[in-house]
């Protein structure tokens, strides 16, 4: 009998071109966006090289584009130049582009799965750290830099040091009102922001199997916030049902062959991981970040911690600086923190289920008069579906601004910048200093928690509301 | 890429853990389509006041620190976003190396292609170097060839990925090296499953 292997080991093994350390791996899908690719194409053009497999390369615009008044074009001349460069590069090299006026346009990590391009067992790369999202399908997917983007364009391969494996075993079921976002924030709080460094995480256990694909994407998306190279979840019936019938999914006999291959990818019984962490989902509560990294979170029922609660002097210093930046005092109840902005969207929480969860909380209520609340769907397809389901009406009636798709306030490269000193409840993935705009103060939460904060003007425990809706 | 040679120079200590690439180069400076022009925006939000003036209390602005070649940083340096603009900004400010107890995966990888030397060294040795670096005239030497960091009272070996080392020492173009394997890439390509997705054709 052959040695039992993990999901990661199988996918890695299927892509080895040169078996060394680092190994040369073949890339099945290269996703491209406007911000990290222009220098790569320029390098390629300067050396007279071509894109080896334009048919395995797909581009979209997302990072720097406006979410309002698109018919007026991009007003920021630098952002316009980046988008124009991508349009030109895709045209020159024969690459499929979901451009600004394409109904398939959206955040790169939303459109890949949505179009059926993201499939189990693939090796996916993109010049973006949240490429880990695609691991939700049992793909090995990780972010790369611009030099590597150029390398993949030219060779369709990438050199990778073999990472170690970490199993995160989650048992129990997510309690009422607790979201996938709370689960991944709980995992990051446990392993720390560098706990996953040099590792690929496989999320396992009954809790994970019970999650929808949207929820799994939220989990894998934030693997990078735990420092991991990638996050993966074994493909199962939920995965197969999600992929089936999508535009780029296999059809007919090819579909049957693909499903058979996918069914063999799950980690074999008895396979060993380099490290195992366990978590019980029954204990989870909605989380709110209070600081400036995604491990600085507390339950919504909790209080802003004191720096003295950290034993490590460097973490204590970090907490002091975080409190100063966030203008918070230790001991303040999370529920007493008032917010001025709500951002619902991003590659973490900009999918249809996220909008449904938020709309359920918002329905029949009004956004607090002191709050500016915005919904930015993860893709134009998500937007269209939300409109068809009547969700946009719920949001707009409540006082949310309903936007076009993009990364928007997650990283504020477009005009959706949170003003300095103002506080935002955000469904995105990073609460770093300045992430949503210089001086802006970000609190990471789930979609339902963000929606409840929009209505109340401060954080509230959405579990108390959900039982009443 | 310029080959990495023996690095000898003064240091800048940045005693903070988990410095993310958003701090190294904030998002508003990622809109250029060139590889240069990022140095003046290094640690921009920390290095500038709200009205955009250089902030005199941030260390990279101190006159005595100009010309430093080595950044000494806390653990998990370069976490977060995959932006290669981060190593570009660090190098274009004038640094040739970063010494840290640990660097984030994507950042470490990116730096190995841009020619920025990332030395991951035992935390206690980094702490001693951090102390030494409070003196702006203190000098450190990093020898990638022998994988040694030398400074007053410090002589420390560091681990380094062999392939990245070869690339940094030679300054070779990665694509050219990979294309030596063109045959095996081609044969792998020819054996890919027919159901794998393609976007055109």
Residue A20 maps to which CATH number? 3.30.499.10
Both A276 and A344 in one domain: the answer is no
Checking if the pLDDT of B177 tops 90, the result is no
Q: How far is CA A74 from the centre of its chain?
A: 25
Both A192 and A240 in one domain: the answer is yes
Predicted confidence (pLDDT) per residue in B26-36, tens digit: 999 999 999 99
Q: How is residue A318 written in tokens?
A: 């970090």
Checking if the pLDDT of A229 tops 90, the result is yes
Predicted confidence (pLDDT) per residue in B35-84, tens digit: 999 999 999 999 999 999 999 999 999 999 999 999 999 999 999 999 99
Domain boundary among A254, A285, A316: A285
Percent of chain B residues topping a pLDDT of 70: 100
Q: Inform me whether the C-beta atom of residue A69 falls under 8 Å from chain B C-beta atoms.
A: no
Rounded Cα distance, A31 and A149, in Å: 9
At A377 the pLDDT is 98
Q: Where are the beta strands (DSSP E) in chain B?
A: 7-14, 70-73, 97-100, 117-120, 139-143, 148-151, 154-157
Mutate which of A194, A223, A320, A441 to disrupt the B interface (most B C-beta within 10 Å)? A194
Domain B7-171 indexed as CATH 3.30.930.10? no
Both A266 and A237 in one domain: the answer is yes
- Say if strands B139-143 and B7-14 run parallel, antiparallel, or are unpaired: antiparallel
| Mean pLDDT, residues B186-194 taken together | 97
Rounded to two decimals, the ipTM of the complex is 0.96
Give Cβ neighbours of residue B147 (< 8 Å, ≥ 6 apart). B157, B158, B159, B160, B165
| Mean pLDDT, residues A401-425 taken together | 98
In the predicted model, what is the mean pLDDT of chain A?
97
CA distance A169 to chain B (A): 23
- Those of residues 170-199 in B touching chain A at CB distance below 8 A are 173-175, 178-179, 181, 184-185, 188-189, 192-199
- pLDDT band at A254, cuts 50/70/90? very high
| Mean pLDDT, residues A142-165 taken together | 98
Checking if the pLDDT of A468 tops 80, the result is no
Both A163 and A26 in one domain: the answer is yes
- Give which of A460, A431, A430 is closest to A448, Cα–Cα: A460
Both A244 and A111 in one domain: the answer is yes
Both A235 and A302 in one domain: the answer is no
Percent of chain A residues topping a pLDDT of 70: 99
Domain boundary among A268, A285, A302: A285
Return phi, psi of residue A30, to 5°: -115, 110
Domain boundaries, chain B: 7-171
Between A and B, how many residue pairs show a Cβ–Cβ distance under 8 A? Answer: 212
Q: Which domain holds residue A458?
A: 287-466
Count: domains in chain A = 2
- pLDDT band at B23, cuts 50/70/90? very high
At A466 the pLDDT is 65
At B1 the pLDDT is 84
| Mean pLDDT, residues A338-348 taken together | 98
Return the residue matching tokens 């809706």. Answer: A469
At B176 the pLDDT is 86
**B24 neighbors B86 (Cβ within 8 angstroms):** yes
Both A188 and A84 in one domain: the answer is yes
Both A166 and A243 in one domain: the answer is yes
In the predicted model, what is the mean pLDDT of chain B?
96
Q: Inform me whether the C-beta atom of residue B13 falls under 8 Å from chain A C-beta atoms.
A: no
Both A363 and A251 in one domain: the answer is no
CB neighbours of residue A23 within 10 Å: 18
Give per-residue burial for B100-134: e unless 16+ CB within 10 Å, then b. Answer: bbbbbbbbbbbbbbbbbbbbbbeeebbebbbebbe
Q: Which residues of A touch B200 (CB under 8 A)?
A: 54-55, 94-96
| Mean pLDDT, residues B131-151 taken together | 98
Residue A39 to residue B22, Cβ atoms within 8 A: no
Checking if the pLDDT of A147 tops 80, the result is yes
- Those of residues 62-121 in B touching chain A at CB distance below 8 A are 74-76, 79-84, 87, 102, 104-106, 109-110, 113-114
**A457 neighbors A339 (Cβ within 8 angstroms):** yes
CA distance A375 to chain B (A): 21
Domain boundary among A236, A267, A285: A285
| Mean pLDDT, residues B93-103 taken together | 98
**A440 neighbors A420 (Cβ within 8 angstroms):** yes
At A465 the pLDDT is 85
| Mean pLDDT, residues A327-349 taken together | 98
Q: Which residues of B touch A321 (CB under 8 A)?
A: 16
Residue A432 to residue B175, Cβ atoms within 8 A: no
Residue B22 to residue A432, Cβ atoms within 8 A: yes
Percent of chain A residues topping a pLDDT of 90: 98
At B201 the pLDDT is 39
Cα torsion A408, A411, A417, A420 to 10°: value is 160
Both A219 and A109 in one domain: the answer is yes
At B200 the pLDDT is 75
């Amino acid at each position: 009998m052959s040695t039992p292997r993990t999901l990661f080991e199988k996918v890695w093994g299927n892509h080895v071109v040169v078996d060394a350390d680092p190994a040369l791996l073949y890339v099945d899908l290269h996703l491209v966006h406007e911000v990290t690719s222009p220098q790569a194409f320029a390098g390629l053009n300067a050396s007279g090289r071509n894109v080896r497999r334009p048919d395995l390369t797909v581009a979209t615009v997302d990072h720097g584009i406006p979410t309002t008044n698109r018919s007026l074009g991009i007003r920021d001349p630098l952002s316009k130049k980046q988008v124009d460069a991508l349009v030109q590069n895709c045209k020159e090299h024969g690459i499929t582009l979901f451009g600004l006026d394409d109904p398939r346009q959206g955040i790169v990590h939303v459109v890949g799965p949505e179009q059926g391009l993201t499939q189990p067992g693939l090796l996916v790369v993109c010049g973006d750290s949240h490429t880990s999202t695609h691991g939700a399908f049992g793909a090995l997917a990780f972010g790369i830099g611009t030099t590597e983007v150029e390398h993949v364009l030219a060779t369709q391969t990438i050199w990778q040091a073999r990472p170690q494996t970490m199993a995160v075993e989650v048992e129990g079921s997510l309690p009422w009102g607790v979201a996938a976002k709370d689960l991944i924030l709980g995992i990051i709080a446990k392993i720390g922001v560098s706990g996953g460094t040099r590792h690929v995480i496989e999320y396992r256990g009954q809790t994970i199997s019970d999650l929808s694909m949207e929820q799994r994407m939220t989990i894998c998306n934030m693997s990078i916030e735990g420092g991991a190279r990638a996050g993966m979840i074994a493909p199962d019936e939920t995965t197969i049902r999600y992929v089936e019938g999508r535009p780029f999914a296999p059809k007919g006999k090819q579909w049957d062959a693909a499903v058979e291959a996918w069914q063999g990818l799950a980690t074999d019984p008895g396979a060993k991981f380099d490290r195992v962490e366990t978590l019980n989902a029954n204990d989870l509560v909605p989380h709110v970040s209070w600081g400036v990294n995604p491990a600085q979170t507390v339950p919504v029922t909790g209080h802003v911690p004191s720096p003295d609660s950290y034993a490590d002097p460097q973490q204590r210093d970090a907490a002091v600086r975080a409190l100063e930046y966030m203008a918070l005092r230790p001991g303040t109840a999370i529920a007493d923190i008032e917010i001025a902005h709500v951002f619902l969207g991003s590659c973490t929480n900009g999918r249809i289920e996220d909008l449904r969860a938020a709309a359920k909380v918002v329905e029949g209520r009004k956004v607090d008069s002191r709050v500016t609340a915005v919904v930015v769907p993860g893709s134009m397809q998500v937007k269209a579906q939300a409109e068809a389901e009547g969700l946009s009406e719920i949001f707009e009636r409540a006082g949310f601004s309903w936007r076009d798709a993009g990364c928007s306030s997650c990283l504020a490269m477009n005009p959706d910048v949170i003003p300095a000193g103002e506080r935002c409840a955000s469904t995105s993935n990073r609460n770093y200093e300045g992430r949503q705009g210089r001086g802006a103060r970000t609190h990471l939460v789930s979609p339902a928690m963000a929606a409840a904060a929009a209505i109340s003007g401060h954080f509230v425990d959405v579990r108390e509301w959900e039982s009443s809706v | 890429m310029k080959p990495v040679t023996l690095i000898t120079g003064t240091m800048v200590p940045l005693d903070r853990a988990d410095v993310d690439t958003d701090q190294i180069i904030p998002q508003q400076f990622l809109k250029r389509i060139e590889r240069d022009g990022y140095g003046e925006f290094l640690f921009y939000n920390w290095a500038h006041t709200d009205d955009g003036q250089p902030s005199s209390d941030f260390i990279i602005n101190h006159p005595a620190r100009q010309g430093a070649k080595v950044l000494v940083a806390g653990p998990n340096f370069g976490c977060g976003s995959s932006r290669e603009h981060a190593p570009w900004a660090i190098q274009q400010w004038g640094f040739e190396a970063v010494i840290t107890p640990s660097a984030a995966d994507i950042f470490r990888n990116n730096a190995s292609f841009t020619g920025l030397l990332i030395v991951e060294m035992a935390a206690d040795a980094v702490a001693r170097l951090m102390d030494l670096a409070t003196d702006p005239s203190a000098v450190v030497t990093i020898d990638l060839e022998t994988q040694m960091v030398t400074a007053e009272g410090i002589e420390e070996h560091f681990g380094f990925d062999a392939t990245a080392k070869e690339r940094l020492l030679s300054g070779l173009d990665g694509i050219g090296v990979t294309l030596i394997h063109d045959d095996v890439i081609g044969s792998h390509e020819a054996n890919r499953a027919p159901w794998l997705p393609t976007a055109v054709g």
